[in-house]
Amino acid sequence: MRRNNKIKLSIFFIATIFFIFTGCKVKVEENVIKDTERKEISIVVPNGVPSTAISKLIKENIQVNDNYNISYSIENTSDTLATSVMKGEPDIAIVPSNLAAQAYNKGLGYKLVGTTGYGALYLVSTEGKIEFNDIKGKEVYNIGNGLTPDIVFKALLKESGILNDVTLSYVGGATELAPAILSGKAKYAVVPEPALTTILSKNPNINIIASLNDLWKEKFNSKNGFPQASIIVKEEIINNDKDFLNELIDKVNNSIQWVNENNKEAADYSVENGSQVEADIIEKSIKNSNINFSNAGDSKQDYLEYFKVLENENAKSIGEKIPNEDFFYEG
pLDDT tens by residue, 252-287: 999 999 999 999 999 999 999 999 999 999 999 999
**What does the pLDDT average to over 137-156?**
95
The rounded distance, in Å, linking the Cα atoms of 54 and 60 is 10
Residue 126 above 70 pLDDT?
Answer: yes
The rounded distance, in Å, linking the Cα atoms of 248 and 246 is 5
The tens digit of pLDDT for each residue in 190-234 reads 999 999 999 999 999 999 999 999 999 999 999 999 999 999 999
**Do residues 316 and 285 touch, judged by C-beta distance below 8 A?**
no
The rounded distance, in Å, linking the Cα atoms of 53 and 43 is 13
Q: Enter the pTM of the model.
A: 0.88
Q: How far is CA 93 from CA 42, 58, 86, 115, 237, in A?
A: 8, 13, 11, 11, 13
**Do residues 139 and 109 touch, judged by C-beta distance below 8 A?**
no
Residue 64 above 60 pLDDT?
Answer: yes
The rounded distance, in Å, linking the Cα atoms of 75 and 220 is 32
The pLDDT of residue 6 is 42
Cis before 149 (ω within 30) = no
Residue 54 above 80 pLDDT?
Answer: yes
**What does the pLDDT average to over 81-104?**
98
Share of the chain above pLDDT 90, in %: 86
The pLDDT of residue 128 is 87
